[in-house]
């Protein structure tokens, strides 16, 4: 079953919030992971990404990208580092390290798991982020959850169509 304790428990400071979202995808783990692990192509399933430019690295751990966000969102760019890419355990850790947006000190963990019967994939994405001045914990989590939820639903649609 999902190893929540080993991957999705985040230490929080008083000015931070955290959440976890789960998406069940009717596609094999190998296919879903092949989409998720492409650090240089987040627009393949992330709805709000207009384009992506690699600043450094080859898409492996330590790589840095700049994501250009679609207009209409509160932000323009996001500079992100791939902290961990574990193909064996299907774990991806990303930190936002710069850009013009409201997700300060954002760190996420995404894992992919075979569903118990082996026919579907379960993707879990959790994060921790600072609560901006003038905002509440609830508003900050709602904003991040909305974006992640859209991304995970689109990931499911992309993977299920490819399967």
Give the predicted TM-score (pTM) of the model: 0.92
Domain at 4-162: CATH code: 3.30.530.20
Counting beta carbons within 10 angstroms of the beta carbon of residue 162, is it exposed (0 to 12), middle (13 to 18) or buried (19 or more)? exposed
Indicate whether 1 pLDDT > 70. Answer: no
**For residue 121, what is the enclosing H or E element?**
strand 121-130
Q: What is the pLDDT of residue 5?
A: 58
Length of the chain: 163
Structure tokens at 132: 């901006």
| Orientation of helix 29-36 relative to helix 137-162, angle to 10° | 120
Structure tokens at 129: 């982020």
pLDDT tens figures, 59-116: 999 999 999 988 766 779 999 999 999 999 999 999 999 999 888 999 999 999 998 7
């Amino acid at each position: 079953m999902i190893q929540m304790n080993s991957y999705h428990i985040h230490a929080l400071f008083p000015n931070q919030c955290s959440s976890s979202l789960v998406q069940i995808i009717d596609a094999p783990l190998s296919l879903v992971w092949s989409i998720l692990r492409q650090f240089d192509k987040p627009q393949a399933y992330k709805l709000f990404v207009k384009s992506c430019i690699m600043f450094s690295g080859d898409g492996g751990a330590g790589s840095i990208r700049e994501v250009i966000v679609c207009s209409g969102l509160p932000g323009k760019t996001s500079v992100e580092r791939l902290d961990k890419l574990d193909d064996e355990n299907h774990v991806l850790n990303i930190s936002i390290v710069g850009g013009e947006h409201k997700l300060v000190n954002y760190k996420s963990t995404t894992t992919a798991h075979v569903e118990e019967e082996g026919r579907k994939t379960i993707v879990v994405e959790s994060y921790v982020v600072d609560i901006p001045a003038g905002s509440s914990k609830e508003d900050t989590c709602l904003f991040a959850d909305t974006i992640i939820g859209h991304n995970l639903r689109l990931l499911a649609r992309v993977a299920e169509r490819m399967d």
